[in-house]
Structure 1
Amino acid sequence: MDLNYTDEQRAFRNEVRAFLAEKLPQRLAEKVVAGKRLTKSDYEEWHAILNERGWLGVNWPEEHGGTGWDAVSRHIFEEETTAANAPRIVPFGLNMLGPVLMAFGSEEQKAHYLPRILSGEDWWCQGYSEPGAGSDLASVKTTAVREGDHYVVNGQKTWTTLGQHANRIFCLVRTSREGKPQEGISFLLIDMNTPGIEVRPIVLIDGEPEVNEVWFSDVRVPVENLVGEENKGWTYAKYLLTHERTNIAGVGFATAGLASLKRIARNQMQNGRPLIENPVFAAKVAQVEIDLMAMATTNLRTLAAAAAGQAPGAESSMLKIKGTVIRQQINHLARQAVGPYAAPFISEMLDEGSNVEPVGPEESMAVTQTYFNNRKLSIYGGSNEVQRQIISKAILEL
């Protein structure tokens, strides 16, 4: 995306490109391009490569092992890694829990957990949503009852992304039923290997068990795993969600998706001419590109404010809405571009080493898989409808 970069920023972009050309395994990039399923070892391999270079904690201060980058550097890095088809960085430890621990965790928790997030020794998942508490997160019913030096946890979490790979989970639990629902929630760090925890996969429309149910039956969690104060977890949960929603904007993913859309539209023919030359289709592509450029600018402003110590407020809700809508629009246009080849969907094709032959152009499989998977974008992290309510209250005071 064409912004007015300084010579130093252009030099950094070239440095990132050189690093990716040398260190990004071609096998991983090819899997991302083809829409193949990434394994746990795939994610861990890329995580380790970035950590070795010191480029993993892009939103962390240097004192905790992060890059200390400013907003523009982070934007450049995200653009280049997605353009190079690098695997996404699993966000739960790095982009969600890490900032919460830095802001509210004890010195012991920071010293223990932050290095393990960077090293990959801990793979975290997020225990927020429940069957009756999704966007209405204050309705969580999973309980944690204090018994001596432990909390005893009982309940259920759902839509736990990549929970099948995780060895730890950060959870919102109810520790009190007095007062408003928000006032009785605490933030717990739980070892997934503790007796009483069961992970049950939820198979999505693309055949991938990407999300899970996590059940807790008399799970004993040491009291020192409480983050901050008991019954103050709602404050920490909101802080985490503002960071999550900002990241969900996915400027880099949208930029890479737009480039892929243009490539597909140049290759697909309509009435003997490339689809991109169809004025109606070209106008749709141009509009989504304009929207993306505007969102990228807003994202930079928000990231800069966060880097200055300001937690994003309603701005993160704005970015969550616009970012997810833009990505879904790009997915929709790409699916339109491949036409009838978007219809076949053979789940086994997404597995590495599959011998199933693709139906139609090679890119059609990735287009369809991405389209289906990204339908969730406007729901998770707080549905877009709820985000509009947050905006109306925080900015319009309605």
Structure 2
Amino acid sequence: MMSQDYPPTIAELTTPCFLVDILRAKLNASRMLERCENLGVQLRPHMKTHKTVELALLQTGGNKSRIVVSTLKEAEFYATNGFDDILYGCPITAHHIPRCTKLAVSRQLHLLYDSHEAISALHNSPVGDGRAWSVFLAVDTGNDREGALWNSDEAVQLAKEAAESEHISFQGIYSHDGHSYRCRGVDEVKKLAEETANKMLFLKNRLLKEGIDCVTTGVGSTPSCINPPDVFSSLSVFHPGNYIFFDYNQQFMQVCGFEEIACRVATRVISHSATGDHLLVDCGFLGLSHDGIAIQQQLPYGFCAFQDQPNLRMVRMTQELGKVEDVNGKVDFEKYPIGKILYIYPWHSCATAAMYSEYFVHEGDAVVGVYKPTRGW
């Protein structure tokens, strides 16, 4: 939650630290809400990017309802803070049912499943008080992660088993089209998003022919929901999350511009090399994460981008230190004196945010608050 114990300006913060440009975050959130309203679909925003109450309220338009989370710790955190209509967006297993039962007794909780074992476990562990488990079938539309294949008999069978259980209420189908992250450019994203929507609508119609009511057809990832094709208006729910911050990855994909990225890592120059070929900053992989490093040779600024410093490259990290070189050769130490603050756009904002127990919220150079994310599983 908000704290008043913080320095008044970014320049006075201890580095490395995670910064949230609140005006950019508000704009990103409002644009997604408007986009969904124009398409006539509901927004169920994902909380995994930030895991805070304050940013959740931005994404929901001030309503404490209809969210998706990636851990039960998040579900419990949001329930404790008054949120309802929560989808636990990972395939459920018997191991997690006791914690889910506690949540389902007090809140509207939805579960995701993709196995016969999950249906059996839920059927044999009723919530009680005449309530039924609310479930969505996870569908694989090409991402090759969780879910039953969209055109398989298995998907129909899994839906039928849930619909026939007296202790389960089948709500519909859900797909994370994470393979949209493999696209480059708006046209590729739109083409893939259209294919995803059509696959989900195919499965929905197939279930209806089998007599299985499919109330909800949900899809989404930030790339596809930023650039939705017209067929997305035939769906019922979007569930993106990263758009609240965006990141260098999204900019590289042409989903957003650098000016829309609402998060940065602030770091300070702490050492100049004796040879003049590099400087050190106080941000290593525990302040940035390793995301993007495997494909850094393919990226225009390496695996992270220094704001307004296109010549700088992070070439190596240890836990707490980052080695930075200049693509033009020797580093101009007069331009980058010890103590100078540099700002980094992370490749993956979700992973980088997870490194921090607090986010410093700012408007311009003024720090206006601190948000405390939940952590753990």
Relative to the length of structure 2, the TM-score reads 0.26
User: Greater relative contact order: 1 or 2 (C-alpha under 8 angstroms, separation 6 or more)?
Assistant: 2
* Larger fraction in helix: 1
